[in-house]
Amino acid sequence: SAVISQKPSRDICQRGTSLTIQCQVDSQVTMMFWYRQQPGQSLTLIATANQGSEATYESGFVIDKFPISRPNLTFSTLTVSNMSPEDSSIYLCSVEAPLKDGYTFGSGTRLTVV
């Protein structure tokens, strides 16, 4: 499976500020996926990021709040903007495995907004 390096692993942020999360993959991938996992909940897809085009956002998520960059086939960032305590979650990036035999997740970013 692809190896994903995600950082930061955790952060505590003040409300109203923004945090950018980075994901680096050890191989070229067409799509990268960003998920959110709120405390005690399952994973919810935020958006799908393609290289060279705008990200596709799921219902309930907007670009102004979660801008995404995808400058090349191995890297993506997710920014959580104008944060509030409700944004406290684990954020995960994911890619399809090279042999298309599953999806691999990064180690996650545990965000706490105070």
Partner 1 sequence: QKEVEQNSGPLSVPEGAIASLNCTYSDRGSQSFFWYRQYSGKSPELIMFIYSNGDKEDGRFTAQLNKASQYVSLLIRDSQPSDSATYLCAGGNTGFQKLVFGTGTRLLVSP
Binding site for partner 1 (CB under 8 A): 1, 30-31, 33, 41-45, 48, 90, 92, 96-97, 101-108, 110
Q: Work out the burial of residue 42: count CB atoms within 10 Å of its CB; fewer than 13 is exposed, 13-18 middle, 19 or more buried.
A: exposed
Strands 10-13 and 109-113: parallel
Which CB sits closer to partner 1, 45 or 73? 45
Strands 56-57 and 68-72: unpaired
Which CB sits closer to partner 1, 64 or 101? 101
Question: At its nearest, how many Å lie between partner 1 and the CB of residue 31?
Answer: 6
Question: At its nearest, how many Å lie between partner 1 and the CB of residue 16?
Answer: 27
Q: Which of 82, 85, 68, 59 is CA-nearest to residue 34?
A: 68
Map tokens 């706490």 to a residue. Answer: 112
Question: At its nearest, how many Å lie between partner 1 and the CB of residue 90?
Answer: 8
Which CB sits closer to partner 1, 13 or 43? 43
